Amino acid sequence: MVQNRVVMLVDFDYFFAQCEELRNPLIKDKPVVVGVYSGRTEDSGAVSTSNYVARRYGVKSGIPIFLAKRNLECADAVFFPVDHKYYKQVSDSIMQLLNNYASNLEQVSIDEAYLDVTLQVEGNFEKAQIYAQKIKQDIKAQVGLSLSIGIGSNKLVAKIACDSQKPDGLTLVRPEEAIKFLAPLSVDKLLGVGKKTFTRMEQMDIKTIGDLAKFDVQQIIEVFGKTLGIYFHNAANAIDNEPVVKQCEAESISKIGTLKQDTHDLELLLQKTDELVEIVYGEATEKGYSFKTVSVYIVNVDLVSKSRSVTLEQPAKDKEVIKRNVHLLLEKYLTESPLKIRRLGVRVSGFSKKQPQQKQLSSFFV
Active site residues: 112
Of the candidates 230, 229, 235, the residue with the CA atom closest to the CA atom of residue 210:
235
Contacts of 18 (CB under 8 A, 6+ apart): 12, 51, 145, 146
Work out whether 114 is an interface residue with ligand DGT (CB under 6 A).
no
Q: Where are the alpha helices (H) located in the chain, listed in sequence order? A: 15-23, 52-55, 65-71, 84-99, 125-143, 155-163, 178-182, 195-203, 209-214, 217-224, 226-236, 266-286, 319-336
Task: Between 49 and 154, name the residue whose CB sits nearer to Ca ion.
Answer: 49
- First-to-last CA distance in the chain? 46
Residue 322's CB: how many other CB atoms inside 10 A? 25
Shortest CB 109 distance to Ca ion, Å: 8
The whole-angstrom separation of Cα 291 and Cα 349 is: 5
The whole-angstrom separation of Cα 175 and Cα 321 is: 48
Spell out, one character per residue from 182 to 221, where the chain touches ligand DGT: x when CB under 6 A holds, - when not.
----------------------------------------
Work out whether 111 is an interface residue with ligand DGT (CB under 6 A).
yes
Work out whether 21 is an interface residue with Ca ion (CB under 5 A).
no
Helix axes 226-236, 217-224, angle to 10 degrees: 140
Question: Which part of the chain contacts ligand DGT (CB under 6 A), choosing from 10-18, 65-73, 190-198, 253-261?
Answer: 10-18
Shortest CB 171 distance to Ca ion, Å: 14
Shortest CB 283 distance to ligand DGT, Å: 21
Question: Which part of the chain contacts ligand DGT (CB under 6 A), choosing from 5-13, 68-76, 273-281, 332-340?
Answer: 5-13
Work out whether 257 is an interface residue with ligand DGT (CB under 6 A).
no
Work out whether 166 is an interface residue with ligand DGT (CB under 6 A).
yes
- Asked whether the beta carbons of 215 and 202 are under 8 A apart, the reply is no
Angle at 147 between CA 142 and CA 150, to 5 degrees: 130
Work out whether 11 is an interface residue with Ca ion (CB under 5 A).
yes
Task: Between 49 and 254, name the residue whose CB sits nearer to ligand DGT.
Answer: 49
Work out whether 61 is an interface residue with ligand DGT (CB under 6 A).
yes
Work out whether 20 is an interface residue with ligand DGT (CB under 6 A).
no
- Asked whether the beta carbons of 211 and 220 are under 8 A apart, the reply is no
Contacts of 364 (CB under 8 A, 6+ apart): 254, 256, 295, 297, 305, 307, 345, 347
Residue 177's CB: how many other CB atoms inside 10 A? 14
Question: Which part of the chain contacts Ca ion (CB under 5 A), choosing from 111-119, 136-144, 253-261, 280-288?
Answer: 111-119
Contacting residue, 111, 121, 157, 209, with Ca ion by CB under 5 A:
111
Work out whether 15 is an interface residue with Ca ion (CB under 5 A).
yes
Work out whether 366 is an interface residue with ligand DGT (CB under 6 A).
yes
Work out whether 13 is an interface residue with ligand DGT (CB under 6 A).
yes
Task: Between 39 and 288, name the residue whose CB sits nearer to ligand DGT.
Answer: 39
Contacting residue, 9, 14, 244, 289, with ligand DGT by CB under 6 A:
14
Phi, psi (degrees; rounded to nearest 5) at 142: -85, -35
Beta bridge partners of 8: 115, 151
Contacting residue, 8, 9, 16, 237, with ligand DGT by CB under 6 A:
16
For the chain, helix (H) and strand (E) counts, in that order, are: 13, 12
Shortest CB 119 distance to ligand DGT, Å: 27
Work out whether 49 is an interface residue with ligand DGT (CB under 6 A).
yes
Question: Which part of the chain contacts Ca ion (CB under 5 A), choosing from 10-18, 200-208, 284-292, 328-336?
Answer: 10-18
Residue 366's CB: how many other CB atoms inside 10 A? 15
Question: Which part of the chain contacts ligand DGT (CB under 6 A), choosing from 12-20, 206-214, 247-255, 308-316?
Answer: 12-20
- Point out which residues bind ligand DGT (CB under 6 A): 11-16, 36, 48-49, 61-62, 110-111, 166-167, 366
- Point out which residues bind Ca ion (CB under 5 A): 11-12, 15, 111
